Chains A and B, each alone.
Chain A
């Protein structure tokens, strides 16, 4: 249009709709944030056209401000409690309530369509209000949440006429038994994804079958333990188009008619790429699923406690195309060897403990990990609970797999040294950070000194999240990390000898991060107060579970749990009594 006659292009001559159309192609949150900073006009256009927002910390901004900024909001991701809440380190009622968000969005008539929550407290009231306030609501994903019952789910089922996705992952749900599923009206035919595996109660099986029968777009179905084998067989006949299947109970007599019917039904499901469940399982029934194994890209057997190593390996022999594998440690080192020789496309491996409190019995060691690293060069994401680890093994793994983005190692005995050399595991982890230049997330365990932090600060330049427990000798350790890891966003530390000097050395650093958690360290109340005073852009919260009130405490007193995060809206109004906002 104007090219020929001008030396520079004046972007203001582009009509807003053109810019908006261009911005539609920019989907990454980071990029959209950058776009909004270019100039006032771009800010405005981006603001009104933004539909998807990610809030990694629900307390970093208020619902009202979010709505004012992005009135066109359709899809929201919210995270509430700090990560260590998953491991019972955060008391109940700490916060992370969904209700205020729903209330504000309902009041402002936001056209919410998608909501994804992690570690939030979701009440039935909030689910009911949600179901009544957003006529186009399509997708609800709850991960590691709590506070709701199946009554809340009933409201969602009954009122969200265009619901496509209801995905419940590892939530603590009070189950009032069964009837919620029957609340999906006969007119609801839009379901694409239904995951209720974490529910503990009975399910109206007939309703489930009818629901699946009238959902031609259903691609993902994950059942709970209360759904028996014969129902599974009937469901598969109704939904041969499934891409993702999670079985419930998987026990039957392999010589029976029902078993043969299931075998036939499964063979018809040639779109299944992802398989999980087996919450109760008879190993002799596993051969029925062998035919679909060759196409699987994701296999999650981490709740299938009934399968032993030999059954697991027999199954894995068929899964050549596997990219992600979640499994229990009863697979053993030898079993991991089978994974290594079969699953050449493997990118992500998670090995969970089948007996978390009996460290002596963890069935995998450093040997299994080394085998996988040798056989699966594409491995980039690891979560590995094991009995022991050696520096030599970690150094070998680092050499074999340089692509790690996520490396989380958990030795069940938290301060265990290298059992061969009796040395700390500094050199092993050092090799990992040196070799994996793209490492974004790291969790450490085993006996570790300040030296490992020296390596992390020196080499882990892309690191965004670091989890530390029972490690280090002095403040130097924490300082190496704070000074060296320029991209650090989340740092969580428990039971380490890091104190005030480390905490206060570079207070501005915390403004570049989402949050810092320190529990059972050497940080004192006085230092937290100093930090809170100097940095008004941070909320410094102390979780105090003893009976002492703030006035009786000495500034020299060490704090039990401190959680600080950057925020635009100052102190939160919903903190319980045991949380002190400094």
Chain B
């Protein structure tokens, strides 16, 4: 098509360096952001242009999470909501102590790292080198002398797995892996 020759991609070339944009990001990786160049005074060095400094679309932006001001076009309110949720998820962390009966010292894990009970239990199993039994609502954990329990907001000792995951992460204060005879009262059937 004839208009292909008219491409002046340089004028609008934009290096965002976003992951998954393969060719583009590699092509753009070594070029400077032309857009900010336009803003420079005719006789000013582009590096000292004040206007360009104020924008996020800098040529020296890191390869990931480089941002163009006002892009994508979503309302600040929505962007801030998503960022809050992400920040809450990423930075707060939900560290709780984990103790195992008979172990010399405790560990700490971040509950936010796990999406659900299977992942959490697997992580605990790996950390303390044990195996939990099979969970059933009626009988608790069947087939192992180890039972995962937790202390909730009210200070009660609860069996891990009974309530929905979100509720669990919101109320769990610490974890305790009970072992042997003490575990029997909570519904562990060996």
Which residues on A are within 8 Å of B, measured CB to CB? 84, 86-89, 144, 170-172, 198, 251-254, 282, 284-285, 302-303, 305-306, 352-361, 385, 387, 410, 412-416, 424, 426, 443, 449-451, 467, 469-474, 494-497, 520, 522, 545-548, 554, 556-558, 560
8 sampled A-B residue pairs with Cβ under 8 A: A88-B69, A144-B77, A252-B164, A353-B72, A415-B13, A473-B6, A547-B50, A557-B41
Quote the shortest CB–CB distance from A226 to chain B (angstroms). 14
Instruction: Let me know if A305 and B85 touch, CB within 8 A.
Output: yes
C-alpha gap A251/B38 in the complex (Å): 51
C-alpha gap A22/B7 in the complex (Å): 57
Number of residue pairs A-B, CB distance < 8 angstroms: 147
The 0/1 profile, CB within 8 Å of A marked 1, for residues 65-90 of chain B is 10111111111111111100110000
Instruction: Let me know if A558 and B166 touch, CB within 8 A.
Output: no
Our pick among A172, A282, A387, A497 for the contact of B167 (Cβ within 8 Å) is A282
Which residues of chain A are near B14, meaning CB under 8 Å? 414-415, 470
B85 (CB) vs chain A CBs: closest residue: A305
B38 (CB) vs chain A CBs: closest residue: A558
C-alpha gap A558/B42 in the complex (Å): 9
Q: Which of B50-69 contact A (CB under 8 A)?
A: 50-51, 54, 64-65, 67-69
Quote the shortest CB–CB distance from A104 to chain B (angstroms). 29
Taking the complex as formed, is B39 at the interface, i.e. its CB lies under 8 A from any CB of chain A?
Answer: yes
C-alpha gap A442/B75 in the complex (Å): 18
Which residues of chain A are near B72, meaning CB under 8 Å? 353, 356, 385, 410, 412, 414
Instruction: Let me know if A495 and B75 touch, CB within 8 A.
Output: no
Instruction: Let me know if A413 and B74 touch, CB within 8 A.
Output: no
Which residues of chain A are near B163, meaning CB under 8 Å? 253
Instruction: Let me know if B12 and A359 touch, CB within 8 A.
Output: no
The 0/1 profile, CB within 8 Å of A marked 1, for residues 89-101 of chain B is 0000000000000
Taking the complex as formed, is B16 at the interface, i.e. its CB lies under 8 A from any CB of chain A?
Answer: yes
Q: Which of B2-31 contact A (CB under 8 A)?
A: 3, 6-9, 11-14, 16, 18-21, 24
C-alpha gap A305/B164 in the complex (Å): 17
Closest 10 CB pairs of A and B: A360-B20, A87-B70, A360-B19, A170-B77, A359-B18, A546-B50, A282-B166, A89-B70, A546-B51, A497-B11
Instruction: Let me know if B167 and A253 touch, CB within 8 A.
Output: yes
B170 (CB) vs chain A CBs: closest residue: A251
Instruction: Let me know if A360 and B12 touch, CB within 8 A.
Output: no
Instruction: Let me know if B73 and A410 touch, CB within 8 A.
Output: yes
Taking the complex as formed, is B132 at the interface, i.e. its CB lies under 8 A from any CB of chain A?
Answer: no
Instruction: Let me know if B75 and A86 touch, CB within 8 A.
Output: yes
Q: Which of B163-190 contact A (CB under 8 A)?
A: 163-167, 170
Instruction: Let me know if A356 and B16 touch, CB within 8 A.
Output: no
Taking the complex as formed, is B120 at the interface, i.e. its CB lies under 8 A from any CB of chain A?
Answer: no
Taking the complex as formed, is B35 at the interface, i.e. its CB lies under 8 A from any CB of chain A?
Answer: yes
Which residues on B are within 8 Å of A, measured CB to CB? 1, 3, 6-9, 11-14, 16, 18-21, 24, 35, 38-39, 41-42, 50-51, 54, 64-65, 67-82, 85-86, 163-167, 170
Our pick among A387, A443, A450, A557 for the contact of B3 (Cβ within 8 Å) is A450
C-alpha gap A86/B72 in the complex (Å): 11
Instruction: Let me know if B20 and A473 touch, CB within 8 A.
Output: no
Instruction: Let me know if A558 and B19 touch, CB within 8 A.
Output: no
Which residues of chain B are near A387, meaning CB under 8 Å? 20
Beyond A253-B164, A413-B18, A414-B68, is A198–B3 a contact (Cβ under 8 Å)?
no
Our pick among B16, B50, B78, B81 for the contact of A359 (Cβ within 8 Å) is B16
Which residues of chain A are near B166, meaning CB under 8 Å? 251, 282, 306
Instruction: Let me know if B21 and A251 touch, CB within 8 A.
Output: no
C-alpha gap A225/B64 in the complex (Å): 31
Our pick among B3, B78, B167 for the contact of A449 (Cβ within 8 Å) is B3
Which residues of chain A are near B170, meaning CB under 8 Å? 251
Instruction: Let me know if B70 and A88 touch, CB within 8 A.
Output: yes
C-alpha gap A414/B66 in the complex (Å): 13
Which residues of chain B are near A558, meaning CB under 8 Å? 38-39
Which residues of chain A are near B39, meaning CB under 8 Å? 520, 558, 560
Which residues of chain B are near A451, meaning CB under 8 Å? 1, 3
C-alpha gap A198/B166 in the complex (Å): 23
B80 (CB) vs chain A CBs: closest residue: A172
C-alpha gap A284/B116 in the complex (Å): 12
Which residues of chain A are near B79, meaning CB under 8 Å? 356
Beyond A84-B70, A473-B11, A496-B12, is A556–B42 a contact (Cβ under 8 Å)?
yes
C-alpha gap A497/B9 in the complex (Å): 10
Which residues of chain B are near A359, meaning CB under 8 Å? 16, 18-21
Which residues of chain B are near A560, meaning CB under 8 Å? 39, 51
C-alpha gap A305/B64 in the complex (Å): 22
Quote the shortest CB–CB distance from A283 to chain B (angstroms). 8
Quote the shortest CB–CB distance from B112 to chain A (angstroms). 13
